[in-house]
Amino acid sequence: MRIKKYSQWIVFGVIICMPGLVFGQQNQRENAFSYDSALEFEEDQSVYQPVSLDYVNTSCDTTDEAGTCCVDELCLPECQCCNFLEQFLMSRSPIYPSMNSQRIRVGGWLDQGFTGNFQKPSNNFNLPVTFNDRSNEYQMNQLYLFMEREVDFGGDELDWGFRADLLYGTDYFFTTAIGLETNTDGSAHWNSSDGPRRSGGNTFAMYGVALPQLYAELYIPWLSGVSVKAGHFYTPIGYEKVTAPDNFFYSHSYSMQYGEPFTHTGILSTFQVSDQLQLLAGIARGWDAWEDPNDDAELLAGIGWVSSDQATNVNLALSSGDQDTNVDASANRTIISFVLSHQFNDCLTYVFQSDFGIQDNGAINNQFQVVPAKWYSINQYLYYDVSDTLAWGARFEWFRDQDFSRVVQLSPPFASGGNYFELTVGANWKPHPCVTVRPELRFDWSDTSSPLLNVQGPYRNFQADYQVLLGGDVIIRF
Q: What is the CA radius of gyration of the chain?
A: 22
The three-state secondary structure class of 415 is coil
294 contacts 28 by C-beta, under 8 angstroms: no
Cβ atoms within 10 A of the Cβ of 224, count? 15
Domains delineated in the chain = 117-132+214-477 (2.40.160)
Distance CA 211, CA 183 (A): 14
| Residues 53 and 287: beta-carbon distance below 8 Å | no
The candidate with the shortest Cα–Cα distance to 11, out of 181, 208, 166, is: 208
Q: Which residues contact 374 (CB under 8 A, 6 or more apart)?
A: 356, 357, 358, 359, 402, 403
For residue 257, which of 132, 130, 351 has the smallest C-alpha distance?
Answer: 130
* Alpha-carbon span 316 to 382, nearest angstrom: 20
State residue 368's pLDDT score: 78
Three-state secondary structure along 56-119? CCCCCCCCCHHHHHHHHCCCCCCCCCCCHHHHHHHHHCCCHHHHHHCCCEEEEEEEEEEEEECC
The pLDDT tens digits of the residues spanning 356-410 come to 999 998 888 777 788 899 999 999 999 999 998 999 999 999 999 999 999 998 8
C-alpha separations of 380 from 51, 154, 239, 247 in Å: 13, 32, 11, 14
Distance (Å) of CA 167 to CA 114, 119, 187, 352, 383 = 19, 31, 19, 29, 28
From residue 231, alpha-carbon distances to 162, 404, 465 in Å are 10, 33, 41
Q: What's the pLDDT at 40?
A: 31
Distance of CA 218 to the CA centre of its chain: 25
b/e per residue, 363-401, with b = 16+ CB within 10 A? bbeeeeebebbbbbbebebbbbbeeeeebbbbbebbbbb
Q: Are 371 and 348 in contact (CB under 8 A)?
A: no
Is the bond preceding residue 128 a cis peptide, omega within 30 degrees? yes
pLDDT score, position 278: 94
CB 138 within 8 A of CB 164: no
Whole-model pTM: value is 0.85
Please tell me whether residue 252 adopts helix, strand or coil conformation: coil
pLDDT < 70 regions, the chain: 1-81, 324-329
d(CA 64, CA 253): 39
Question: Where in 134-188 does DSSP place strands (E)?
Answer: 137-149, 159-169
What's the confidence (pLDDT) of residue 254?
98
Q: Would you tell me the crossing angle of helices 84-92 and 65-72 to the nearest 10 degrees? A: 70
Distance CA 4, CA 194 (A): 8
User: For position 329, what pLDDT does the model report?
Assistant: 61
CB neighbour burial string for 70-87, b if at least 16 within 10 angstroms, e if fewer: bbeeebeeebbbbbbbbb
Contact 278, 55 (CB under 8 A): yes
Sheet holding 197-199, edge to edge: 34-35, 197-199, 202-204
